[in-house]
Amino acid sequence: MIKLMDDAIFFFNSGRYFEAHEAWEDIWRMETGPLRSFYQGLVHAAVVLHHRAHRNTIGTIAQLEKCLIRLDGFPAEVAGIDVDRLRADIRQVLAERGVEGSTEVRIVRLKKNHDVVESDGT
């Protein structure tokens, strides 16, 4: 599951949102515990940016709201991901009304000592 998560983050940060969505959906299907909702939030985040890239304002905004509902129930860091930054970026996209802004949304991985590192997919 770690490889799948790394792949999903790599895809997401590379702008390959459909592939990220597919990888996180696979993780979501395997998860039976409380993280299931978190992974669903990541699926929604990928769909948000997929719609945004295709200038689908209605789809972007609908998915933004679903994404935030899922992610808001989690602490600042989950599975090594900086969830606070992700939520802030997603909220900025929402404030920009979806496709009109230029906010870059990336998944940032945190090391155990809380140094920020970008995932390179390896």
Q: What pTM was estimated for this model as a whole?
A: 0.86
Q: Tell me the CATH class for 2-118.
A: mainly alpha
- pLDDT tens, residue by residue, 34-70: 999 999 999 999 999 999 888 888 888 888 989 999 9
- In the predicted structure, residue 114 carries a pLDDT above the cut 60: no
pLDDT for res 102: 72
C-alpha torsion 46→109→95→45, nearest 10: 10
Tokens, residue 118: 């970008």
Give the integer Cα–Cα distance in Å for 5 and 62.
25
pLDDT for res 122: 40
* Mean pLDDT score, 117-121: 45
